[in-house]
Structure 1
Amino acid sequence: MAKIVVDPITRIEGHLRIEAEIEDGKIKDAWSSSTMFRGIEKILKGRDPRDAWYWTQRFCGVCTTVHSIASIRAVEDALKIKIPPNAQLIRNIIIGIQGVQDHVIHFYHLHALDWVDITSALKADPVKTASLAASISDWPNNSATHFKAVQEKLNAFVGTGRLGPFANAYWGHPAYKLPPEANLMATAHYLEALEWQKEVIKIHAILGSKNPHPQTFLVGGMSIPVDPDSQNALNADRLITIKRLLAKAQDFVEKVYIPDLLAIASFYKDWAAIGGGVGNFLSYGEFPDPINGNLWFPPGAIMNKDISKVLPLDQQKVTEYVDHSWYEYQDAKGKGLHPWKGESEAKYTGPKPPYEFLDTDKKYSWVKAPRYDEAAMEVGPLARILVAYVAGHKESKAAVDMVLGKLGVGPAALFSTLGRTAARGIDALLIARQTPVWLDALIANIGKGDYRIHANEMWDPKTWPAEASGYGWHEAPRGALGHWIKIKDQKIYNYQAVVPSTWNASPRDAKGQRGPYEAALVGTPVAKPDQPLEILRTIHSFDPCLACAVHVTDATGNELVRVKVS
């Protein structure tokens, strides 16, 4: 039995190590380890709860809005603050376009190279490529002239020997199945997506003053003023610009992303039976209605791949274990702690680098092991779409049925690496179509003369109770994100964030249950252990973001940097 290590997993945010045992050409067992430590929760203690969103969004530079909104919701829940409709609609637009942009970036720039062989694109016939592209979409750039120009650009790029993101890949690997023309089409759209994402995210600059890390979030609403007649506020001109950019986003998703997803997936249908994982799925739901607060994406859990029902959620059932994580609970050894009682006391007990393998029978990761009702749960677009589909969300059902119908597979195919990738595209499509609806509602509300953007009640700490607890849930692009806060004497007493990649990248718990990455890798075929492309396919299908789950520390305990404030 061979044991291999992939460290680091590239084309993700943060540091992730995978160890896997391979027997008879398949993965028999796997271990997911993050080699960084997160400590921002400890930094937050004693600070003003109204400032927490500004700190927590620095968990990561990719998940640029998600921690802000989860943190603000946690404080608003603790203090029972209801925000005005305009603020809710603006939040929906900000996090909506973040989700669409994030999914497109993931598909093309982080995941596509697991399926697309760039070197093969150099052999393609541009005329045949144009014919293929025209058969699936009327996108204006799907012409022989455009594809020939892309091929020439790619040839020149390769000729320099400086391959950038295309270096050190497993080109020519036997697991690649796309014909040269499909590879050239996908490569051309990879390059187009780079320019597209830069444009559509300007919505964050308009509504949030900057990107990444928009600055206009605020406990109780938003800080951007609304006045259709003012040049220094959200006015008619800016709303029209947002409308144009949302249309641009939707057009690309419908005419490029989804057609490419379907075309590529049609060559890899065998991956609809690989990477199923733990079989339990958790979604917090998302996009509150500005009037009644009902969520557009419904919340819920699906257990044991049972798509006959969605179970209601209870936040008290969320716990985190550290039996195989480099943390120490003071009085809860072998037990899971609810985030309100959570601790983040680091205690590294692993080997000193350099080392060949981790001692996976003991502690082997900086990621904790979250569990819902004592079960390991997968979170992310697949969980979100499955819960919505089973719950009868009409838009999700129509989109899922369309994609499955075109691929000629049934719902069971969703429980896989391919299904995870397809669900991300479906998620992007649904949000891209719905975000303009929220913009129209915002325009209509402003047109009625409602310029309210912030709720003033409970803003003054003198009005707060002596102690308060709250939690904020958000369906981030990568899945269920939760922030839990305890406030005492107007200051943060305890703060814990359980992020999507903590759920998915978790190590074993006290019962030895594998986390979703680990479970999904079991049974995965590996054609060439020295080039484990298949491991990348399944892990990338989750879109890991380890920076959200952990932050860096030196394993030897040495000081890395000292920041002085003068």
Structure 2
Amino acid sequence: MTATEQDAGGGSTTNRVVIDPVSRIEGHLRVEVEVSGGTVSKAWSSATLFRGIEKILAGRDPRDAPLITQRLCGVCTYVHQLCSVRAIENAIGTLVPDNACLVRNLTLGAQFMHDHIVHFYHLHGLDWVDITSALSANAGATEALAHSVSPDADPIDFAAVKSRLQGMVDTGNLGPFANAYWGHSDYKLSPEENLLVTAHYLSALDLQIVAARMMAILGGKNPHPQSTIVGGVTCGGELSPDRLATFRTYLEQTRRFVDTVYMPDLKVVAARYPEWVDIGGFTNFLACGEFPQVPDGGLFMPAGVILNGDILNVQPLNEAAITEHVARSWYSGTSDLHPLNGETNPAFTGLDVNDRYSWFKAPRYDGAAMEVGPLARVLIGYGLGKPEFVTVVQNFLLDTGLSEADLISTLGRTAARALETVIVGNGMVSWLDQLENNLQSGDKAIYWDYAMISDSGRGFLEAPRGALGHWIDIDNSTTSRYQMVVPTTWNLGPRSVDSVDASKSIPGPMEQALVGVPVADPANPVEILRVIHSFDPCIACGVHVIDVDQDKTYDVKVI
């Protein structure tokens, strides 16, 4: 689909191209990008599917909310259930046993490890890896390369992998490797490096099953684990020594993959794409904290706020400063509201990037757009001097020659997921030890009873993609109001109106991060995809490219 409009400067026509669909993300998104002088000059992010789950929950038993909100997404299969349970527990003032807290941490930790591995290899990896180049690789040289970058990794028959790829090409059945921008000038890995990471792409397909099985042991099934309920968890029968030993086996298998495959591959990508430490960055970060520690009640991942890239000056998070703006969204009204007072009243007016253009609301913190997700959490943990974060980050910086400031970029956003996978994996070992020790000492409590009362509550949770919040009003054992602020809304929300000057607007984090991104060929905009995928959006995406210099229409399919 194409459209034209008059350029406001001189009346000349410019061409807009719909690039659709973007794969390797979840859901429905439209991103419009204007390219001028070979770089992105403007960007608009439009969610094109109305959610409405808040309307569905009104009038129902509050305990329905965890099961219904969990079905928002089959990718982050656990996060909404746990966040919703926390909101209800906060409203009614109930606590949970230590064992229940540990089980929840382990289940969520497994979700993190599964999600980040899938993201790097199966969602984001092909933005950096040229599969066709791998076909010219020397298998023996690739084996030597693999040993040099990770001597402890399991051996792979690279000749067999190359033959498998060649067979896919010869039959025309490329499967997940079809319709990409192979041969693009901005692919920088050598043929052997491309074959190495491609082989690990295939290995990760098997490894993600292992991580999913961890979740299934404690959650009853995957996707959509079902053992977390208000008051605790229900998986008492699964907390046997044998089942927990199996969980530990899966955990160690996953951690080994992270240490010997994922991290080394990340360092290969970082070495070949050093310019991407200057592309796609954003400087405001927010995290609500995660993984409550027992018995002290602290958070393994700290909450905090970083403004203007000042990494070593982490501010405390003030929940009251969170508001959602709708002046540029397809909802009635123009006021910004705290989620506890939020409204979901759809009012579609048609797509107009100069007015309303998204079903997303625009979350803001004290009026500022904020990036959430792995990079926010890693920088906040590092900035606060948490040893679990400092050690992993400094080792990576030493190994790559990068600086702290380099992390505020597309490459840093990609790296943070791997760093966080190491950090979470280390934490899971400790939580599993704690759980086993509690059970062996006779503490088997996993649930405490409660009374449903009328009140308001909120649940915060760090999902793999970022900060998540659920707010609930309970009236006479019924949900009277429910609101959610999800990670991708923070990162990919539309513009908001400036509270000081209503004539100005504040673009969302990804809209700002896209500005300045170089685009060598608007017909093959792999550079734009790198930025989009680095945020790991949980929506499907159509990207529109405008080249105001070439005055040319591009018919593009994005993969």
Counterparts of 2:21 and 2:370 in 1: how far apart (Å)? 24
Percent sequence identity over aligned pairs: 52
Counterparts of 2:539 and 2:483 in 1: how far apart (Å)? 16
Measured after TM superposition, the shift of residue 7 of structure 1 is 3.1
8 Å contact from structure 1 (residues 524, 535) kept in 2: yes
Q: Which string of whole-angstrom CA distances, capped at 9 and with x for unpartnered residues, describes residues 184-231 of structure 1?
A: 000000000000111221112211110000011100110112xxxxxx
8 Å contact from structure 1 (residues 139, 256) kept in 2: no
1:397 maps to 2:390: yes
Measured after TM superposition, the shift of residue 60 of structure 1 is 0.5
* 2:344 match: 344
Measured after TM superposition, the shift of residue 359 of structure 1 is 2.0
Identify unmatched segments of 5+ residues in structure 2.
1-13, 499-504, 542-559
1:360 maps to 2:353: yes
Q: Which string of whole-angstrom CA distances, capped at 9 and with x for unpartnered residues, describes residues 485-543 of structure 1?
A: 11111111100110000000100012210001100000000000111100000010000
5 Å-filtered alignment, 1:251-330, equals 251-277=256-282, 279-329=283-333
Measured after TM superposition, the shift of residue 436 of structure 1 is 1.4
Which 4+ stretches in 1 moved above 4 angstroms? 1-4
Counterparts of 2:252 and 2:420 in 1: how far apart (Å)? 17
* 2:551 match: none
* 1:474 match: 461
Give the match's secondary structure for 1:201.
helix
Measured after TM superposition, the shift of residue 3 of structure 1 is 4.5
Q: Aligned-pair RMSD on alpha carbons? A: 1.3
8 Å contact from structure 1 (residues 272, 416) kept in 2: yes
Counterparts of 2:450 and 2:323 in 1: how far apart (Å)? 32
Counterparts of 1:174 and 1:233 in 2: how far apart (Å)? 52
Measured after TM superposition, the shift of residue 46 of structure 1 is 1.0
8 Å contact from structure 1 (residues 504, 516) kept in 2: yes
Choose the corresponding residue for 1:36, options 40, 49, 53: 49
Give the match's secondary structure for 1:266.
helix
Choose the corresponding residue for 2:447, options 446, 454, 457: 454
Counterparts of 1:256 and 1:165 in 2: how far apart (Å)? 21
Counterparts of 1:260 and 1:368 in 2: how far apart (Å)? 36
8 Å contact from structure 1 (residues 9, 17) kept in 2: no
1:191 maps to 2:196: no
Alignment length (residue pairs): 522
TM-score (norm 1): 0.90
Counterparts of 1:5 and 1:199 in 2: how far apart (Å)? 38
8 Å contact from structure 1 (residues 468, 488) kept in 2: yes
Give the match's secondary structure for 1:475.
strand
8 Å contact from structure 2 (residues 89, 457) kept in 1: yes
8 Å contact from structure 2 (residues 111, 211) kept in 1: no
Identify unmatched segments of 5+ residues in structure 1.
226-231, 351-357, 549-566
Measured after TM superposition, the shift of residue 234 of structure 1 is 2.1
| 1:280 partner letter | N
Q: Which string of whole-angstrom CA distances, capped at 9 and with x for unpartnered residues, describes residues 147-197 of structure 1?
A: 111111111111121222211110000010000000000000000000011
Measured after TM superposition, the shift of residue 139 of structure 1 is 4.1
Counterparts of 1:381 and 1:200 in 2: how far apart (Å)? 19
8 Å contact from structure 1 (residues 5, 20) kept in 2: no
Measured after TM superposition, the shift of residue 8 of structure 1 is 2.9
* 2:137 match: 124
Counterparts of 1:454 and 1:50 in 2: how far apart (Å)? 15
Larger relative contact order (CA 8 Å, sep ≥ 6): 2
Give the match's secondary structure for 1:7.
strand
1:7 maps to 2:11: no
Measured after TM superposition, the shift of residue 432 of structure 1 is 1.3
Cα 1:391/1:268, change in 2 over 3 Å: same
| 1:161 partner letter | G
Q: Which string of whole-angstrom CA distances, capped at 9 and with x for unpartnered residues, describes residues 337-368 of structure 1?
A: 11111111111111xxxxxxx42001111111
8 Å contact from structure 1 (residues 53, 71) kept in 2: yes
TM-score (norm 2): 0.92
8 Å contact from structure 2 (residues 112, 421) kept in 1: yes
Measured after TM superposition, the shift of residue 547 of structure 1 is 7.7
